[in-house]
Chains A and B, each alone.
Chain A
């Protein structure tokens, strides 16, 4: 008989709250959804009786479109909300906003919020399943899952024993934290590399290596996940200039050319070309940046599908 396996959790608030088995289940299910989104008719009826609210209290292009497509391809009904054009501007609290939306019979909430922990707070107050689409500098679980999926694809299977280095602004990145948790659950070795000012002081306690040498880290890793310099989250100067950052920490063509081994280059977007990564590298044969975007839809379909499957037994 087919196995009945399901997620251990009702919400996806962060990779920290998922078990290794959860991560495997999401990635394995995503593989079948990737087949679905490459069919002539890219739609399955699984979530036809589910309504999902996409609440974006912070700007987003990729994640928002990706979630919306995932929902539509699962046949869910969707409503969209963005803080800039809503009653939040009139002083409504987060809980009131969400409760008002849920009063209209919404089953699941996909939310991006600038405050770390906003999703955790909500999960204790409301019944609907919550998917974190990014909370401040804390976690961005679906990005980490799609990164892991793309890495497995590019490396031909298992990540156990593989080496992944995350380059760039680790301090201000929710992608970095989620990636670290996710890769560790899949058995990969993780290193972070960037200027000392952009690497949290105690990040070593998570069991990751720390390096400030880009060339050495490129030589060490199978996959380089390059993060953006998040100028909008930096209230003081962490680096002297973007030009200097590119010179000392950028993933340049010259640095890649010096490697005598294959390497997979990733970037969660949006890219600042010429700052953290050179155009020649971003568009090279090493890069899987656009595959990441495609895989994002399949992985988000998988997360929403598996969460919807849990609704009835809670």
Chain B
């Protein structure tokens, strides 16, 4: 991969996580009817991090789930589409809940569209909100916007935004990779 540039270092990364948690508390209060669902893979890591920090901030019984959308993708028969599925674990009913859907990067919006289709198979949420770490502005191909965003970036279509995690990469950071 050529030309990797850090656009968010670990210090600012931690601040962003903190801000997103505070924003969620501001909107959801005691989270009485809310739940957090991460989209595999990157979204689950972000959701886990948020879940952990929210617990430290006193939000103790927020249901947390993982959603895999591989079987809902419309590009799985092209070479770009991933084929391997990861576990879906939603141990609670989403019926009439306020679902906070979490993904690491919002790009075309297709992943989120698939995730909403998948989510409907678990019940009818009262509302679905979207939280993303990185919003790649001006690159949407569907009318989908995030309610909570960590970082807004302007990118070219052939660039790639990589959100890296302490648990898997040794450090929290966001990289912009050239074409």
Contacts and interface: CB of A to CB of B under 8 A. Distances in A.
A35 B79 contact: no
Using C-beta atoms within 8 Å of the partner chain, give the interface range for chain B. 20 to 34
Q: Which of B41, B71, B121, B122 has the most CB of A within 10 A?
A: B71
A104 interface: no
Contact of B70 (A1, A32, A74): A32
Contacts of A1: 82
Interface in A11-63: 25, 28-29, 31-33, 35-36, 39-41, 43-46
B138 interface: no
Contacts of A35: 87-88
A5 B76 contact: no
Contacts of B72: 44-46
Contact of A305 (B71, B78, B80): B71
Contacts of B178: none
A101 B71 CA distance: 28
A313 interface: yes
B122 A29 contact: no
B169 interface: no
A44 B82 contact: no
A44 B78 CA distance: 18
A32 B87 contact: yes
B77 interface: yes
A307 B14 CA distance: 43
Nearest to A3: B84
B135 interface: no
Interface of A: 1-6, 25, 28-29, 31-33, 35-36, 39-41, 43-46, 74, 305-306, 308-309, 311-313
21 contacts: A1-B82, A2-B41, A2-B70, A2-B82, A3-B84, A4-B81, A4-B82, A5-B83, A6-B83, A29-B83, A32-B68, A33-B71, A35-B87, A41-B120, A41-B121, A44-B71, A44-B118, A44-B121, A305-B71, A309-B77, A313-B79
B87 A40 contact: no
A29 B88 CA distance: 12
B121 A46 contact: no
Contacts of B80: 4
A33 B80 CA distance: 21
B85 interface: yes
A306 B41 CA distance: 20
B86 A4 contact: no
Contacts of A6: 83
Contacts of A40: 121-123
Q: Which of A40, A45, A311 has the most CB of B within 10 A?
A: A45
A23 to B, nearest CB: 14
Interface in B82-99: 82-88
B60 interface: no
